[in-house]
Structure 1
Amino acid sequence: MTADDVDLEAVDFLLNQHAQIRAGLREVASAHGPAKAAAFADLRRLITVHETAEQEVLHRRMREFADAEPPPEPRTLRASVDESPLRARPAGLDINALLGQEQHGTELLAELDRLDPASDEFDARFTRLAVEIIAHADHEETEEFPVVRERLDANERLRMGRALRVAEASAPRHPQPATRSTIADRVREAIREVFSSR
């Protein structure tokens, strides 16, 4: 099942895309010749759509929570008697750190665009990109997504999921490297249309 098959709430939609990105990373790493270049073009499109939509829909909403919250109080070494790990609240969400990771990933993608996929340099930089993307996805899955589920009701998560789905559908299917900004622009425009029509 892909993200296009069902109307998913935002977190489930993004988890599905994370799985697709991880599979795409494996496909590029194991491919050769023209198949490698094609697999990388597909992966680049998916990452661009995913990160742009996440920034416009999810991170923007999470920033509202982060901006509204006072800084966490210093914790004592000994937790209170009634505080258990199950009741502990998530640590402050650092949206700027997530955005910084995404910006660095965008820069690595741009570097890879300029390299021959058959070269050793491409493989070395692609390995670096893959490690960073997986770490970033893990960070979102453990730090951001639980906060989204805790703080946003099911209806809002479904609306956000629909916006993410529209964003994915709006992007061109086989972009050339120079059109990465066009992908991002189309995603942003589609998301604005979804939210302005409410």
Structure 2
Amino acid sequence: MSSTTKGQYSSTDDVIDLLKAQHGQIRDLFDLVMHSEGQERKEAFEKLVRLLAVHETAEEEIIHPMARSLPGGDGIVDDRLAEEREAKEVLSELDGMDPGDPAFLKSLDKLRMDVLTHARAEERYEFDRLRDEFSPAQLKGFAAAVRAAEGTAPTHPRPGVESAKKNMLAGPPAAIMDRVRDMIRDARDKD
């Protein structure tokens, strides 16, 4: 995540406010990618991929396990994980496409609708219940844990890695590979 993006969320101590703010940033990035062209679209899409990857990893490591502890939480989380896996598969395909390809926007629009529907479901069925069940001090602790998880998360989607355990095992090596890949890509783009 860029330092600008991190700075936008550093002022909130509540994990629900943090995640909802990120959902807003995701919506804004989808709009920017959809309505831009050329290098601007490419850069906006790279930011979107990175934000989605680290955001979902943090939710899978921190938020979903907490939600499972709530009555009926297993079903709620299982539904969100299925949505996340589908979104990661589409995002992985898009991540390998040329943003100028006409098929890119069609696939991106489908992903946008799926991700925004997923975010609304998280906010309604998961986040609101977490706010009701956990104290402000606990929500503050979860926000710190989410930030830490995002700091070590892979920056590209990993379909099939939708659990806290799988993220803990596969995440660190994938994060290193992703971050090196991003640095190489950024260096090439500057040439």
TM over 0.5: yes
- Give deviations 1:4-34, integer Å, cap 9, x for gaps: 2x14211011011101111111111111011
- 1:2 pairs with 2:15: no
The residue number in structure 2 matching 1:117 is 99
The residue number in structure 2 matching 1:84 is none
For 1:59 and 1:103, locate their aligned partners in 2 and report how far apart those are by CA, in whole Å.
Answer: 14
Tell me which of 26, 41, 45 is aligned to 1:40. 45
CA contact (8 A) 1:3 1:13 kept: yes
TM-score by length of 2: 0.75
CA contact (8 A) 1:168 1:187 kept: no
Tell me which of 19, 25, 29 is aligned to 1:24. 29
For 1:111 and 1:25, locate their aligned partners in 2 and report how far apart those are by CA, in whole Å.
Answer: 16
Aligned residue identity for 1:34 = Q
The residue number in structure 2 matching 1:65 is 70
The Cα of 1:37 is off from its aligned counterpart by 1.1
In the superposition, relative to structure 1, how do residues 103 and 32 fare at CA in structure 2: closer, same or farther (>3 Å)?
A: same
The residue number in structure 2 matching 1:140 is 122
SS at match of 1:94: helix
Aligned residue identity for 2:89 = E
- Give deviations 1:28-82, integer Å, cap 9, x for gaps: 1111011111111110000000000001100011112246x8xxxxxxxxxxxxx
CA contact (8 A) 2:29 2:44 kept: yes
Higher RCO by CA contacts (8 Å cutoff, separation 6 or greater): 1
The runs of 5 or more residues in structure 1 that have no matched partner are: 70-91, 190-198
CA contact (8 A) 2:33 2:45 kept: yes
Percent of aligned pairs with the same amino acid: 30
The CA RMSD measured in Å over matched residues stands at 2.6
Aligned residue identity for 1:122 = F
Q: Mark the structure with the bigger radius of gyration.
A: 1
SS at match of 1:115: coil
The Cα of 1:164 is off from its aligned counterpart by 1.2
Tell me which of 6, 15, 20 is aligned to 1:15. 20
- Give deviations 1:90-145, integer Å, cap 9, x for gaps: xx851100010011110010110121100111110000000001101111111111
In the superposition, relative to structure 1, how do residues 32 and 42 fare at CA in structure 2: closer, same or farther (>3 Å)?
A: same
For 2:118 and 2:149, locate their aligned partners in 1 and report how far apart those are by CA, in whole Å.
Answer: 21
In the superposition, relative to structure 1, how do residues 186 and 12 fare at CA in structure 2: closer, same or farther (>3 Å)?
A: farther
CA contact (8 A) 2:99 2:105 kept: yes
Tell me which of 35, 39, 56 is aligned to 2:61. 56
CA contact (8 A) 1:18 1:137 kept: yes
For 2:110 and 2:103, locate their aligned partners in 1 and report how far apart those are by CA, in whole Å.
Answer: 11
Q: When the two structures are aligned, how many residues end up with a matched partner?
A: 159
In the superposition, relative to structure 1, how do residues 46 and 35 fare at CA in structure 2: closer, same or farther (>3 Å)?
A: same
Greater helix share, structure number: 2
The Cα of 1:188 is off from its aligned counterpart by 10
For 1:155 and 1:97, locate their aligned partners in 2 and report how far apart those are by CA, in whole Å.
Answer: 28
